[in-house]
Amino acid sequence: MIALLLGGLAVAIALSVAGLVLGIVAQNGDWSSFRVAIGPVVFFAFERSRNVTSTTFGSGVPLAALGGGLVNAVGAGFLRRRTG
């Protein structure tokens, strides 16, 4: 359970920082609107209108966090079995 939580937290923090940095870089670099997505699952969406820019976190971030947590839990289980 701890491994699931910590893995999820690690991925959530990493993706949140990545999204925020990407948004700021896109804003400063005058990038046009874009989305980071796998199929229908959106991670970040950067939108630029005439006067405003916005960065939105999509459902991909919590899903990736859950995935990261599961992978971490599986890894912890593997290590626990190996160390006895």
Residues at the site binding another protein, with contacts judged by CB under 8 A: 2-3, 6-7, 9-10, 13-14, 16-17, 20-21, 24-25, 68, 72, 75-76, 79-80, 83
Q: Please identify, using beta-carbon distances, which residue of 41 and 77 lies nearer to another protein.
A: 77
Output the smallest distance, CB 61 to another protein, in A: 13
Q: What ranges make up the beta strands (E) of 6-77?
A: 34-38, 41-48, 53-57
| 51/83 with CB nearer another protein | 83
How many Å apart are CA 68 and CA 51, to the nearest integer?
Answer: 37
Give the torsion through C-alpha atoms of 47, 58, 24, 34, to 10 deg.
Answer: -40
